[in-house]
Structure 1
Amino acid sequence: MSDINSLIHDATIWLLVIFSIITWVLIVVKVFQTQKATKQSKAFVDRFWTAKNINEAINLAKQSDGPTARIANEGFQTLINADDKTHQDLQHSWSRQDLLERHLRKQILTERRQLEKGSAVLASIGNNAPFIGLFGTVFGIIHALQAIAKSGNASMDVVAGPIGEALIATGIGIAVAVPAVLAYNYFIRKVKSIGADLDDFATDFVSLNQKAGFQLNISSNTPPVSSVTQKTDLGNKEVKEKGVFA
C-alpha cells in the first residue's frame, strides 16, 4: 500500500509537468497565431480600402491571406455566384443582401472558432491542475505518515521532511494553473478584439456593396484593372462611376 501511495504521488507530479509543457506550447502557438492574424488583417484592410476599383479589391482578396481577407473573398464569391433569376433551391431563395450577410456571418464564426482552438485546453488545465496537485499531496502525506509510523519516531525532524515533499505536488499544481488561467483570459480578450474588428469590416463590406444593389457583374468582358479609371477609392466608400458595380 505504501508503494502504491508513493507511485500515485509521483505520477501526479509527472502529470502536472506534462500539463505545464502543454500549457506553454499552447501559449507560444496562440501568441504567434493571434499576432499573425492581427498583422495580416490590418495590412489587408489598409490595402482593401485604398483599392482603386472593385476588380482590384477582388484580386487583392484572392491573393491575400488572413481572417479579413478570407471574409472579403467569401463575400465577393457569394455575390459572384448569386443569381436572382434562378431560385432552384433554398440556398438561392434569399435576397442578395441576406445571402451576403449570412455567408459573412458564417465565415466570421469560422475564423473565431479557428482562433479559439486550444483555449478550452488552457481553461481545463487552469481549473483542474490545483485539484490534481492536491490529490497527489493527499497520497504523499499518507505515504509519509505510514513511513513515520513504521519508524516509531514522530519528532518534528522526522515528520517535516516527508510532509514537505508531499506538499510539493500542491505547489506544482498551483504553478501550472496560474499561467494557464492568465493565458486563457488573455487569449479570450484577444479573440474578442479580433472578432470585433471582423464584424466592423463585414458591416462596412455590406454597406459598400449596398450602394450598387449587391450586384458585381464580373464577366470576361470586364475591362482589366489597369484600364478602369476611378475618381475615388474604396477607402471613401463612394462609387461614382458606372461599371465598377453594375
Structure 2
Amino acid sequence: MSDINTIIHDATIWLLIGFSIITWVLIVVKAVQTSKASKQSKLFVDSFWSAQNLADAINQSEDAQGPTARIAQTGFKTLTEANEKTHQDLQQTWSRQDLLERHLRKQILAERRQLEKGSAILASIGNNAPFIGLFGTVFGIIHALQAIAKSGSASMDVVAGPIGQALVATGIGIAVAVPAVLAYNYFVRKVKGIGADLDDFATDFVSLTQKVGFQLPTKTQSPHVAAKPAAAHPLSSQEKEALA
C-alpha cells in the first residue's frame, strides 16, 4: 500500500510538470498567433482605406493575409458570386445586403474560433491543477503517516520531512495553475478586442458596398487602338479629268 501511495504521489507531480509544459507552449503559440493577427489586420485596414477606389481595394485584398483581409475577401467573393449566379439557386434569393452580412458573420465566427483554439485547455489546466496537486498531496501524506507509524516516533524531525515532501505536489499544482489562469484571461481579452475590430470592419465594409448598390466594379478593359486610315489610292487619269 505504501508503494502505491508513493507511485500516485510521484505520478501526480509528473502529470503537473507535463501540464506546465503544455501551458507554456500554448502561451508562446497564442502570443505569436494573436500578435501576428493584430499586426496583419492593422496593416491591411490601413492599406484598404487608403485605396483610391473600390477596384484598387479589391486588388489589394487579393493577396493580403490576416483575419481582416479574409473578411474582405469573403465579402468581395460573395458579391462576385451574386453577380454571376443571380436567381440560379435558393441561396441567391436573399437580397444582396442580407447575403453579404450573412457571409461576413460566418467568416467572423470562423476567425474567432481559430483565435480561441487552445484557450479551453488553458482554462482546464488553471481550474484543475490545484486539485490535482492536492490529490497527490493526500497520498503523499498517507505515505508519510505510514512511515511515521512504522518508525514509532512522532517527533518534529521525523514528521517534518515526509509531510513537507508531500506538500510539494500542492505547491507545484498552484505554480502550474497561476500562469494558465493569467494567460487565459489575457488571451480572452485579446481575442475579444480582435473580434470587435472585425465587427467594425465588417460594418464599414457593408456601408462601403452599399454606396455602390452592392455591385462590384468590372475590370477595366484596355482601350481599343484606333485603326489607321487606309492609304489613299492614286487617282487615275480619267478621275483627274473628271475633277478638272
Q: Give the TM-score of the pair, scaled to structure 1.
A: 0.88
Structure 2 unpaired stretches of 5+: 223-244
Match of 2:230 in 1: none
Report the 3-state secondary structure (helix = DSSP H, G, I; strand = E; otherwise coil) of the residue aligned with 1:131. helix
Alignment partners' CA distance in 2, 1:173 and 1:7: 17
The Cα shift of 1:85 comes to 7.2
Report the 3-state secondary structure (helix = DSSP H, G, I; strand = E; otherwise coil) of the residue aligned with 2:83. coil
Report the 3-state secondary structure (helix = DSSP H, G, I; strand = E; otherwise coil) of the residue aligned with 1:82. helix
Question: Quick check: 1:78–1:100 contact (8 Å CA) kept in 2?
Answer: yes
Alignment partners' CA distance in 1, 2:5 and 2:60: 63
Match of 2:190 in 1: 190
* Number of equivalenced pairs: 222
Report the CA distance shift for 1:188/1:2 in structure 2 as closer, same or farther (over 3 A): same
Match of 1:50 in 2: 50
User: What is the identity, as a one-letter code, of the residue corresponding to 2:151?
Assistant: S
| 2:132 matches 1:128 | no
Alignment partners' CA distance in 2, 1:86 and 1:104: 19
What are the within-5 Å matches in structure 2 for residues 107-186 of structure 1? 107-186=107-186
Alignment partners' CA distance in 2, 1:146 and 1:101: 68
| Cα deviation code 1:68-127 (max 9, x no counterpart) | 000000000000110387323321111000000000000000000000000000000000
Alignment partners' CA distance in 1, 2:22 and 2:159: 35
| Cα deviation code 1:11-58 (max 9, x no counterpart) | 000000000000000000100100000000000000000111222111
Q: Give the TM-score of the pair, scaled to structure 2.
A: 0.88
User: What is the identity, as a one-letter code, of the residue corresponding to 2:43?
Assistant: A
Alignment partners' CA distance in 2, 1:95 and 1:204: 18
Alignment partners' CA distance in 1, 2:217 and 2:188: 40
Alignment partners' CA distance in 1, 2:170 and 2:182: 19
What are the within-5 Å matches in structure 2 for residues 1-246 of structure 1? 1-83=1-83, 86-219=86-219, 222-223=220-221
Question: Quick check: 1:48–1:60 contact (8 Å CA) kept in 2?
Answer: yes
Structure 1: 4+ residue segments shifted above 2 A: 83-90
Report the CA distance shift for 1:85/1:151 in structure 2 as closer, same or farther (over 3 A): closer
The Cα shift of 1:201 comes to 0.4
User: What is the identity, as a one-letter code, of the residue corresponding to 1:197?
Assistant: D
When Rg is computed on C-alpha atoms for both structures, the one with the higher figure is 2
User: What is the identity, as a one-letter code, of the residue corresponding to 1:18?
Assistant: G
Question: Quick check: 2:55–2:217 contact (8 Å CA) kept in 1?
Answer: no
Alignment partners' CA distance in 1, 2:145 and 2:213: 79
User: What is the identity, as a one-letter code, of the residue corresponding to 1:3?
Assistant: D
Structure 1 unpaired stretches of 5+: 225-246
Match of 2:235 in 1: none
| Cα deviation code 1:184-207 (max 9, x no counterpart) | 000000000000000000000000
Question: Quick check: 1:80–1:217 contact (8 Å CA) kept in 2?
Answer: no
Report the 3-state secondary structure (helix = DSSP H, G, I; strand = E; otherwise coil) of the residue aligned with 1:218. coil
